[in-house]
């Protein structure tokens, strides 16, 4: 019988990053976590969304360029090169979330994305994922105790959810709010994904509906566990947790099996590495039975999912559809 494929993966949760913490200091923290990962045998370590800076979309600036010092103009940069060097030296790959400022495009336009770079064990870049579902708001909303201006500081990606053959597996990525949307996982599930890497910054206080505050941890796990199970894939969810610049964010980083079960979970709200040996062939138990897409899906009946954005209710006088 052939041996099953295994990938030892680490989730490197970060505690808060202060506004005045230097990139060099943050990269040192990341390298320490990478070393921890190497010492327990990890081949891949996943860092959170926007892992190089404080979560700057909580502050409004009139001139967006006033926040450009929070973005990376190249990857690796001089400041992140030591992380790439450590990865190569240790033979441990990583995924790292950061704010990306692009070169001018053909029309001379610079773009800002909420990006994650995936790096192989030899330090080479496998690919980049740019966040698709950008939450929050565009304009100043001073009524909030803190703001969530991602829609001001980041463009929505139009590149969708690619997957890559790497780490002897099929790997995809998503970023924070992307994890709440079933389409995220299904897009990758339809490409045979075996491991989805997700970094997040989730403030506990949700200003538009504070009734959801107490459910943040539940909803975090609910959506990632469902995504894992319904697509027969591993999911690695990694937080920047703790109280950063006065804002408390959810921790509870976790590694989820294709069964939907959490097999490892962080117990602190600070820098913490958890890991699991992911049996990639376990994915097939779900991909080849209940979620055998080729056999059971009915895409001809799912037209609304790609043709329609918002809700269109039946006309008020249409009666009870079930009668």
| Cβ atoms 179, 237 nearer than 8 A | yes
Q: By CB under 6 A, is residue 84 in contact with ligand CDV?
A: no
Smallest distance from ligand CDV to CB 33, Å: 20
* Catalytic-residue membership of 49: yes
Cα distances from 264 to residues 9, 61, 71, 132, 218, in angstroms, run 11, 39, 32, 27, 16
Find the binding residues for ligand CDV in span 16-55 (CB under 6 A): 49
Q: By CB under 6 A, is residue 177 in contact with ligand CDV?
A: yes
* Catalytic-residue membership of 254: no
Work out which of 116, 201, 233, 253 binds ligand CDV, going by CB under 6 A.
Answer: 201
Smallest distance from ligand CDV to CB 57, Å: 8
CA distance 162 to 178: 13
Q: The tokens of 129 are what? A: 């994922």
Work out which of 33, 52, 90, 176 binds ligand CDV, going by CB under 6 A.
Answer: 176
Candidates 43, 100, 120, 131; catalytic one: 131
CA distance 53 to 18: 8
Looking at 65-73, 173-181, 272-280, 294-302, which segment touches ligand CDV (CB under 6 A)? 173-181
Looking at 121-129, 176-184, 267-275, 280-288, which segment touches ligand CDV (CB under 6 A)? 176-184
Candidates 42, 176, 223, 283; catalytic one: 176
Candidates 49, 100, 120, 150; catalytic one: 49
Indicate which residues carry an active-site annotation: 49, 131, 176
Binding site for ligand CDV (CB under 6 A): 49, 135-136, 148, 176-177, 180, 200-202
């Amino acid at each position: 019988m052939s041996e099953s494929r295994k990938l030892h993966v680490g989730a490197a949760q970060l505690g808060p990053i202060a506004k005045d913490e230097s990139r060099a200091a943050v990269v040192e923290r990341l390298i320490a976590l990478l070393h921890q990962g190497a010492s327990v045998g990890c081949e891949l370590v996943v860092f959170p969304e926007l892992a190089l800076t404080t979560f700057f979309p909580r502050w409004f600036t009139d001139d967006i360029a006033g926040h450009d010092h929070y973005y990376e103009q190249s990857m690796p940069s001089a400041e992140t090169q030591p992380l790439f060097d450590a990865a190569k030296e240790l033979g441990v790959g990583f995924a790292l979330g950061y704010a990306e400022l692009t070169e001018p495009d053909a029309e001379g336009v610079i773009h800002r994305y909420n990006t994650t770079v995936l790096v192989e064990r030899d330090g080479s870049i496998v690919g980049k994922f740019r966040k698709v579902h950008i939450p929050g708001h565009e304009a100043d909303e001073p009524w909030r105790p803190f703001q969530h201006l991602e829609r001001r500081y980041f463009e929505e990606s139009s590149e969708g959810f690619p997957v890559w053959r790497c780490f002897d597996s099929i790997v995809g990525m998503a970023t924070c709010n992307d994890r709440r949307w079933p389409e995220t996982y299904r897009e990758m599930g339809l490409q045979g994904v075996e491991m989805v890497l997700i970094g997040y910054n989730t403030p506990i206080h949700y200003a538009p509906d504070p009734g959801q505050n107490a459910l943040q941890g539940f909803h975090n796990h609910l959506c990632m566990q469902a995504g894992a199970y319904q697509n027969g894939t591993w999911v690695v969810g990694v937080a920047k947790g703790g109280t950063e610049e006065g804002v408390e964010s959810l921790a509870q980083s976790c590694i989820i099996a294709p069964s939907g079960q959490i097999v490892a979970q962080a117990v602190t709200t600070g820098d913490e590495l958890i890991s699991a040996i992911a049996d990639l062939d376990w994915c097939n138990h779900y991909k080849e039975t209940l979620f055998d897409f080729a056999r059971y899906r009915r895409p001809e009946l799912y037209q609304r999912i790609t043709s329609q954005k918002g809700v269109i209710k039946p006309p008020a006088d249409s009666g009870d559809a079930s009668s």
